[in-house]
Amino acid sequence: MVHQMKVSFKDFGPHVPDKDRYERGIDYLYQHFDLELDDAFYLLSQLKHNHSSVAIYTASTVVNFSIDRDGLNVQIDGICTWVASDLDLDVAKEILKAVYEGCEDFGTTIPGTTIEWDAYIG
């Protein structure tokens, strides 16, 4: 199990309008961290506003959790691409745990569930 990973946190304000281009420091804050699982999950649980995201970087995979009007979503880009939308925090934490445990192949179902991914591109 990996203890720390590179994590980026992009936090948009609550009233940022939809537009083609956003400005760092004006529309959103962007920070990088080396975090353990619990701290990464804390950031994930703090995603509240449209376009906000937490990305976790491994040697071979990028896992990007984001918020939009439909809720919490994830896109995992690695040996394949997996996509799921409208996640609850318990499911998101299972995905995050799998990442920290070194998982590279997320299979046909979302970790910790019997739910199939919304999209799988292999």
- Measured N-to-C along each axis, helices 37-45 and 89-100 cross at an angle, to the nearest 10 degrees, of 150
pTM of the predicted structure, to 2 decimals: 0.92
Profile the chain (122 residues) by mean pLDDT over runs of 10 residues: 88 90 93 96 94 95 93 96 96 96 93 94 89
How is the chain split into domains, by residue range? 5-121
- How far lies 84's CA from each of 30, 37, 54, 71, 120, in Å? 24, 20, 15, 11, 9
